[in-house]
Amino acid sequence: MNYDRILIRYGEISTKGRNRNKFVEKLRKSVKIALAPFPKIKVEASRDRMYVLLNGENGIEIIEKLQTIFGIQSFSPAIKVARDVESLKQAALQLIQNLYKEGQTFKVTTKRSDKTYELDTDGVNQTIGAHLLKNVSGIKVDVKNPNINLRVEIRKEAIYLSCETIQGAGGLPIGSSGKAMLMLSGGIDSPVAGYMAMKRGVEIEAVHFFSPPFTSERSKEKVIDLTKKLAEIYGSITLHIVPFTAIQQAIREQIPENYSMTTTRRMMLRITDEIRKNREGLAIITGESLGQVASQTIESMYAINEVTNTPVLRPLITMDKTDIIKVAQDIDTLEISNRPFEDCCTIFVPASPKTKPKREKVNHYESFFDFEPMIQEAVQEIETLVIKPDIEKQSEFNALF
Ligand code: ATP
Ligand code: MG
């Protein structure tokens, strides 16, 4: 007997009280997007569980996909069985005969959400256990540390059998925490920040500042490739590419060199906030980590953040670079970020940027020039792309089916 469905457990979202329906709907959407390449599957969702009915589709590949979906605590390949005791015994035996290897031990763990079932929990454990001991030669019981833990779930509509529990990605389903704009450079940090925000349920759109001819098409490609990676999680991500050359040149002419970095960041934040308004986002995400570079001291953040009161989320704020790199490795963005490229900021970076800029000073310097029309023009000329992923992952779960 083969597994015919995958049972999905929600974890954290099941604690969300009256928001639960919304969370389940968002998760169902994530599952549908991730499983779009498998047209025959069917998704059944209830308040505390979701089932993906395989209908003959490849369970191994589906498991690979499910592991990347935020909001799933764990899942198990499972079989649906009719509620009579004979069917249950027969299905349990077939499943264990398929999985059992010589010398292995087992136990039966029954959960009864339908208390009206003819056998109680111990009754099911004993009936199934005895049936397996009688019919699978050599198998032994081990209740502490079994090789096979046969889970029997007795529900109103049917009984479900499963043996493996696979860890999900955790987090919250994307979209359940609203939408935010991710300021995405070609560096290591911002893709990691985007990933971490997505994990907490934020739907992101990416914003990239591009300064041709000082930054090349190759650096744009790099940002597109990073966006593709992040898009693997949710099917597609909108990327806004902002022409930034004119503003950077104006900054170079108008602002004393040691404050040019501070003003550059302020302009980036103002533009991102404009885009956010147009796209109905509620926050901005950056890859800043406290003290990492001159623009990321707490004084710099105080001076830069003055231009908006939109929440600026900084998922990496307390992380060390080595830990950020580890995550970048895990999510496969490190290699792309490490490609040599010119960032618009590194091109124009002053020799000695202020590490402790003052709000009064930066406001004073900016007061001699009206940046607003340039900001509006940059927003007008944004190139907006919808980026889709382009790779299929290899499967590692052949053993399960
Ligand atoms: P990263 O590794 O993400 O590039 P960083 O350590 O190089 O970060 P900065 O260059 O100071 O740090 O950038 C801080 C944050 O500002 C970035 O994480 C990103 O969110 C944003 N940012 C910087 N440059 C750009 C850009 N060209 N386009 C969009 N956002 C940018
Ligand atoms: Mg950078």
Q: List pLDDT tens digits, range 357-392.
A: 999 999 999 999 999 999 999 999 999 999 998 754
For residues 347 and 32, the model is more confident at 32
Chain mean position to CA 146:
33
SS3 per residue for the chain: CCCCEEEEECHHHHHCHHHHHHHHHHHHHHHHHHCCCCCCCEEEECCCCEEEECCCCCHHHHHHHHCCCCCEEEEEEEEEECCCHHHHHHHHHHHHHHHCCCCCEEEEEEEECCCCCCCCHHHHHHHHHHHHHHHCCCCEECCCCCCEEEEEEECCCCEEEECCCEEEEECECCCCCCEEEEECCCCCHHHHHHHHHHHECCEEEEEEEECCCCCCHHHHHHHHHHHHHHHCCCCCEEEEEEECHHHHHHHHHHCCHHHHHHHHHHHHHHHHHHHHHHCCCCEEECCCCCCCCHHHCHHHHHHHHHHCCCCEECCCCCCCHHHHHHHHHHCCCHHHHCCCCCCHHHHHCCCCCCCCCCHHHHHHHHCCCCCHHHHHHHHHCCEEEEECCCCCCCCCCHHHC
pLDDT at 401 over 60: no
For residues 273 and 346, the model is more confident at 273
Best residue for ligand 1 mutational test, from 188, 189, 209 (most atoms within 8 Å of Cβ)? 189
Ligand 1 interacting residues, C-beta cut-off 6 A = 183-185, 187-190, 207-209, 286-288, 292-293, 295-296, 343-345
- Mean pLDDT (the chain) is 91
Residue 5 CA, ligand 2 centroid: distance in Å: 44
- Range with the lowest mean pLDDT among 43-47, 285-289, 303-307? 43-47
Q: So what's the pLDDT on residue 392?
A: 46
Q: So what's the pLDDT on residue 311?
A: 98
Best residue for ligand 1 mutational test, from 181, 182, 183 (most atoms within 8 Å of Cβ)? 183
Tell me which residue has its CA closest to atom 10 in ligand 1: 345
Query: Residue 155: which pLDDT band, with cuts at 50, 70 and 90?
Result: very high
Q: So what's the pLDDT on residue 192?
A: 98
Q: So what's the pLDDT on residue 224?
A: 97
Residue 39 CA, ligand 1 centroid: distance in Å: 39
Best residue for ligand 1 mutational test, from 182, 184, 185, 196 (most atoms within 8 Å of Cβ)? 185
**Among 246, 274, 248, 277, residue whose Cα is nearest residue 263:** 248
Residue 246 tokens read as: 């004119």
pLDDT in tens, 134-150: 999 999 999 999 999 99
Residue 260 CA, ligand 2 centroid: distance in Å: 16
Q: Is 131 annotated among the ligand-binding residues?
A: no
pLDDT at 285 over 80: yes
Residue 242 CA, ligand 2 centroid: distance in Å: 16
Query: Residue 309: which pLDDT band, with cuts at 50, 70 and 90?
Result: very high
Q: So what's the pLDDT on residue 331?
A: 94
Q: Is 296 annotated among the ligand-binding residues?
A: yes
- Range with the lowest mean pLDDT among 113-127, 129-143, 178-192, 332-346? 332-346
